[in-house]
Each structure stands twice: as C-alpha cells, then as structure tokens.
Amino acid sequence: METHEGYRSLISGDWRWLVVTYSFLVLFDLLPGFLAFGLGTFFRPYGFWWFTLWAGGGIAIVSAYVGFGSRGTTIFEPAIASLLYALTLLAAFEVPWKNAEGYRFVTFRIALLVFAFLIGLGAAAVGEWIQMRKERRLNLAGEGSESKVGS
C-alpha cells in the first residue's frame, strides 16, 4: 500500500515547485550568464562549450537546491523546469547554432532537451536524497534524546 501511495505522490506532486525552479534558473543562471559572459562569448569558437557547462552546472545546482529545500518528493518538477529552461535557451541563442543544418540540428536540439531533463532529474534526486538523510539523522537524534530523558 505504501509503494502505491509513494508513486501517486511522486506523479501528482506539488507543481508550484516547477514555477519556483524555472524562476530560479532564469534568475540565478541565465541572468548571471548574460552579465558574466555577454553575448559575444557565445559567438567565439569555444563559447558554446563554456555556455553549455555554465547552463548544465546551473541546472544541476538549482535542481538539487529545490530537491533539498522542498518537503516531500519533488523530483519531476525540477526536471520539467530544466526542460523548459533548455527550450528558453534554445530560443534565446538561436544564432550560434545556425551552422548545424537539417537532421544534425534536430538531433542536437533533442539531445540538449533530453540532457537538460536528465540533469534536472538527477540533481533533484540527489537533493531529495540529501534531504531524506538529514531528516532521518534528525529523527534518530530526536529519538535518542527522548529515550535518555525518560530514563
């Protein structure tokens, strides 16, 4: 019975975290990226790779933070927000990738979206895991202090 409830809470989730995650990604990843690198960086030969590392790292940090900070299981919300954020990046930086054409371009876009989703999913899962360990440790410490007080 508990497993069925766990799956239901995982799917139904609190979708406000999707909005929070997307807002954090725009505020704490996209805006500093614009301020730190400027648009000129993305047109240089290796600018795309630097930006990919910046965006991937930002997605991982924000998704892990949201996974850690949310109560309950919040894994799919940051993953979907990461996917939406990657769509935003594709729309914002269309010009640097005009060299790729046809099938390569579509494959690149799909791979980028899948990669963003997986980074968000994995980082949120890590954040949830850290949160569960912290709660378990606090619960064990609380139980231990109650047994000492009662004796």
Per-residue pLDDT tens over the stretch 69-96: 988 888 999 999 999 999 988 887 665 5
- pLDDT attached to residue 82: 96
Q: For residues 64 and 123, is the Cβ–Cβ distance under 8 A?
A: yes
Q: What six digits make up the tokens of 125?
A: 């899962």
Higher pLDDT, 101 or 149: 101
Contact status, residue 69 vs residue 78, Cβ threshold 8 Å: no
Asked if pLDDT for residue 60 goes beyond 70, the answer is: yes
- Which residue matches tokens 């914002």? 92
For all residues of the chain together, what is the average pLDDT?
80
Per-residue pLDDT at 12: 64
Instruction: Supply 55's token pair.
Output: 């965006």
Are 74 and 67 spatial neighbours (Cβ–Cβ below 8 Å)?
yes
In 13-151, which ranges are continuous DSSP H helix?
16-25, 31-37, 47-69, 76-92, 102-150
Confidence of residue 31 (pLDDT cuts 50, 70, 90): confident
Percent residues over pLDDT 70 in the chain: 70
In this prediction, residue 57 carries a pLDDT of 93
47, 51, 65, 108, 123 from 41: Cα distances, Å: 5, 8, 28, 20, 27
pTM of the entire predicted model: 0.79
CA distance 121 to 132: 16
Q: Name, of 1-10, 52-61, 106-115, the range with top average pLDDT.
A: 52-61
Cβ neighbors of 53 (< 8 A, separation 6 or more) are none
More confident residue, 146 or 113: 113
Say yes or no to pLDDT of 109 above 90: no
